[in-house]
A = this chain, B = another copy of it.
């Protein structure tokens, strides 16, 4: 599902992928120090070892290959790598499972990758306190499953939960499908153990739900894309699995009508746990790939879940709003039937991958601007001759316009970048943001200043310097 970007393309998109140019002597000194101080099996060097760590799921590939990969299994390994890299001023790229979509974990020549995926122990899980303490490499779905044994869950649910790590989710402040009701990753993180660029260890936050001692470094590290510190453990909040869940599927003539229906739910003060809205082209792609007939049923599909002890009453209220607006409405409390209804959403991306190479975008707009955003997306597609398929986490205004590109092309064509640029500009104009949940990485840095403004951008760089004065942590990303 990745889109290979040529070196030239990447160079064009990132103004300084690395502020550093590690010379041969420095590289040799670093490798010697790491070989000396890390246990056997922890250090990987050479193209075979480092090649798989040069890019993430965005496919964005900087020039060259990393110097080395440190497969840390203990905090001490991370600290050793940071200390040496800091002294020698070598860029360090922290990495979870590499499932990011913005190039945040891509690693070019002269950098060292800190692979944290093997630090994957659940250190503690307390049903009494409703918290867990985990290493960064724990797969998000594994944490959720472990919590499930006690009737609890880890609420953040990025679509990548089965393959992404908690540490990676924290680095990007990952969203998901039920954020409007249950919050994003940041809302579930109570405290962090982190190493600063020079290997200094800090423990931010706490085990309690409330706490206001000092500045909120937990929140600041969350979403900082590995540029402020390296997370070595996280204390996260768990919440009860809802007692009941009711699933609703409704077809509409157009995406705009589906978006208006979601606005009507908001106006009726219904708080769905999930509200996924798929446009007609996505339904058509699923039909082509899966042999279904979704597109014939409408031009947009809204998949809704209400949960909690009041789920049935809330779903009833939702259905009252949807009737008259929707072409058809189905409701179920049966998990198997719910799975069947949700299949269209689950199969959307795999179906699009059969049509070409998807470039997954990620804007968010005020929730009453959903229909306007899709009009802008469609206009950008027409203007630049690009195929765009859109689905949205509609309850929180987060849209994923997916550009499907010709796989024969060696790089992302300029028309696609221009369409993406138009979409980001429209998102900002509508009062939104250029990334709702995937992060800036390398791919969106050229638009960052448009959202932050020059003064805030400068302030954020000063913050970065307060954490990482030599700029060794994931340079060229996020900011």
Contact = CB atoms under 8 A, between A and B. Distances in A.
Interface string A200-231: 11111011111111111101101110001000
A222 B220 CA distance: 11
A456 interface: yes
Nearest to A187: B187
A367 interface: yes
A180 interface: yes
Given A173-B212, A436-B212, A367 B460 contact: no
A241 B269 contact: yes
Contacts of A74: none
Interface string A455-468: 11101101111110
Contacts of A180: 209
Interface string A275-314: 0000000000000000000000000000000001111011
Interface in A321-360: none
A196 interface: yes
A434 interface: yes
Interface in A246-283: 263, 266-267, 269-271
Contacts of A126: 366, 368
Given A172-B212, A212-B440, A213-B433, A467 B459 contact: yes
Assembly of this chain: how many copies? 2
Contacts of A433: 206, 208, 210-213
A280 B396 CA distance: 45
Interface in A359-411: 364-368, 393, 396-398
Nearest to A174: B212
A128 interface: yes
A439 interface: yes
Contact of A451 (B214, B224, B311, B439): B214
Contact of A129 (B223, B317, B368): B368
B240 A453 contact: no
Interface string A439-479: 11000100010011101110110111111000000000011
Contacts of A464: 215
A396 to B, nearest CB: 4
A341 B224 CA distance: 46
Interface residues of A, number: 95
A393 B435 CA distance: 36
B184 A210 contact: yes
Given A201-B455, A310-B313, A311-B310, A215 B463 contact: yes
A441 B191 CA distance: 22
A437 interface: yes
A240 B272 CA distance: 12
Nearest to A452: B214
Given A208-B432, A211-B433, A455-B201, A216 B173 contact: yes
A169 to B, nearest CB: 11
B214 A455 contact: no
B310 A266 contact: no
B204 A456 contact: yes
Contacts of A47: none
Nearest to A457: B214
A31 B444 CA distance: 47
Given A202-B459, A310-B313, A455-B201, A240 B212 contact: no
A95 interface: no
B208 A366 contact: yes
A455 B202 CA distance: 7
A48 to B, nearest CB: 34
Contacts of A431: 206-208
Contacts of A466: 459, 462-463, 465-466
Contact of A365 (B179, B208, B396, B436): B208
A452 B204 CA distance: 7
B396 A214 contact: no
A448 B398 contact: no
Nearest to A368: B128
Nearest to A196: B459
23 contacts: A129-B368, A179-B209, A183-B183, A184-B210, A200-B455, A201-B455, A202-B453, A202-B459, A206-B431, A207-B366, A211-B364, A211-B435, A212-B438, A213-B435, A214-B451, A214-B452, A215-B463, A216-B222, A217-B456, A217-B459, A217-B460, A243-B310, A308-B309
Q: Which 7 pairs between the two chains have the least Cβ-Cβ distance?
A: A309-B310, A310-B310, A240-B269, A219-B219, A211-B433, A209-B396, A462-B466
